[in-house]
Structure 1
């Protein structure tokens, strides 16, 4: 396939054209605050199938549906608990995905054959403009996993999307350039199908934040719901990712700014705090591959904030693809 088209000047007219492209069955890679997504009309089975083909994604791996505002979730779910509404009011637009019982609108090709659907309102001006324009022409939502090959490192810039996917995209597919993602790791996924919420994938919305809003203790019961990024090995560069070891000569190294770089080691990132760590992590892992490094050593951040999500992604990355 010939590569998709880059769109860097994301004007209102460009957003309207992109929405029409979605409606006609094309794919649109677009920025969110977390990572870049690869979007299709969530009600179009052929377009969604094209996402799976471009990504090389297993067919039973569900997609997250992005909607323009929280009122839109009612058409995707028939059963929305009060605590899910409280979470949506508190954190949308934002880096949080709610797993709810699906309505008839959410078909098997979106849910991976499950009776649940993942929903999110992203917090990025371009994503929201695209969703708004799509809604104006009758669009119900945009299905969008991360815009990378399955199991690889998620992209946080349009250039990273193009580098990885341009050879797979069709002529009419688009890549919208909205600058680097500001959160840098994927959304918190919360199971809202039981009496109390359960985190299925950690992100910037933390356990403490969820409990404060819902006034409920989180559930830790086992869940059989499949969600994005839940496989044991995921988010992996070609380089081997090694955690909390002393780097050797020629290794790449990612560690907070106060940790010095040993002689002969290639510094990939020196984040100033945990939020900065999340923001630069994926770009640093991609840089290791660009430099053909065979090993990357990461000194993991501590804490119970977004560092929980960082450690989750690093553990999966360390297991390879």
Structure 2
């Protein structure tokens, strides 16, 4: 087993070449995207890829996203890119859409694919990371750069908290702007299927394809291999129990519940919700901004902030109507909460 005692360096924009040298040497480097920070390793180096699973504590049958800096890099490994795939590439790459394609035989290690004959590819909208991949000359795997099961990292500091001493470096480009992981679309089937919602919505995709896509976001059984990250195992959970405050719940009732329980209790809500309530002293409050986009951007960062306060055992978080990016927000929040709601208390 690898001895995790290395120094983890924080690299800035002018140190991309140094980050690429770590990748070439088979080391792990966390990298920024517009969604969350990813954990990079040479996708063609099986030993390096296996280190990613070890560093994260990630189950070995949970496939990894392959992050690229060009369409040509995808074509090197993929059996065929359909006309629909090219339409989506033109519309959304670089950007927050990951697509699953069938691979050429033995194109990538089963450590990358989770033993499947498909792989998920992503072309992120972050110039630092595109430069990193181009400089390294290879695609890199890119799961979220966090301890498996915990909220995804949206700053270099989040990565350092989880993975210091386990990876060589973190390429720091400040906070991410989207805050929830990319949409995953399965293009290896006859009718494209969304396996994970993100900033690129079902409506966005259907507008480009001019046809309906399937919604196959389901839990995978213990004896099944998931086709995409986030389908089988617990994700995004802080140490405290999260409860969703649904749109039809009254926040005055939440405040009364908090007042009746003397321990510190976390609250994550829109700013106008926060300002409208007379909160008891034991409510510890973090804002989710003013709309579904700011809520998605701030969700993981706020959950991680409460993890810094172990005295907080309960977090009440504002639920949204699952439309647009609100669908991605609710997908992550439901998994963080384990489907627990305020009305169940």
Give the TM-score range, shorter chain. over 0.9
Give TM-score scaled by structure 2 length: 0.86
Aligned match of 2:177 in 182, 187, 192?
182
Aligned mates of 1:254, 1:222 — CA distance in 2: 26
Note the alpha carbon deviations across 1:129-159, whole angstroms, 9 max, x for none: 1112122xxx2x0011000111111000001
Give the 3 Å change call, closer, same or farther, for CA 3–273 of structure 1 in structure 2. farther
Report the counterpart of residue 152 of structure 1 in structure 2: 150
Aligned mates of 2:268, 2:111 — CA distance in 1: 38
Note the alpha carbon deviations across 1:170-196, whole angstroms, 9 max, x for none: xxx111111001100000000001222
Report the counterpart of residue 276 of structure 1 in structure 2: 294
Aligned match of 1:111 in 107, 110, 113?
113
Matched, 1:306 2:304: no
Report the counterpart of residue 63 of structure 1 in structure 2: 64
Larger deviation: 300-309 or 119-128? 300-309
Does the 8 A contact of 1:15 with 1:129 survive in 2? yes
Cα distance, 1:270 vs structure 2: 3.3
Query: Where in structure 2 are there 5+ consecutive unaligned residues?
Result: 219-223, 340-345
Note the alpha carbon deviations across 1:42-65, whole angstroms, 9 max, x for none: 010110011010000111110000
Matched, 1:252 2:263: no
Aligned match of 1:315 in 334, 337, 341?
334
Aligned mates of 2:88, 2:117 — CA distance in 1: 21
Report the counterpart of residue 284 of structure 2 in structure 1: 266
Superposed CA RMSD in Å reads 1.7
Report the counterpart of residue 77 of structure 1 in structure 2: 78
Matched, 1:204 2:199: yes
Is the partner of 1:90 in helix, strand or coil?
Answer: helix
Does the 8 A contact of 2:322 with 2:330 survive in 1? no
Mapping for residues 94-105 of structure 1, pairs under 5 Å: 94-103=95-104, 104-105=106-107
Give TM-score scaled by structure 1 length: 0.92
Matched, 1:290 2:295: no
Query: Where in structure 1 are there 5+ consecutive unaligned residues?
Result: none
Task: Tell me which structure has the larger Cα radius of gyration.
Answer: 2
Aligned mates of 2:6, 2:337 — CA distance in 1: 31
Cα distance, 1:226 vs structure 2: 2.3
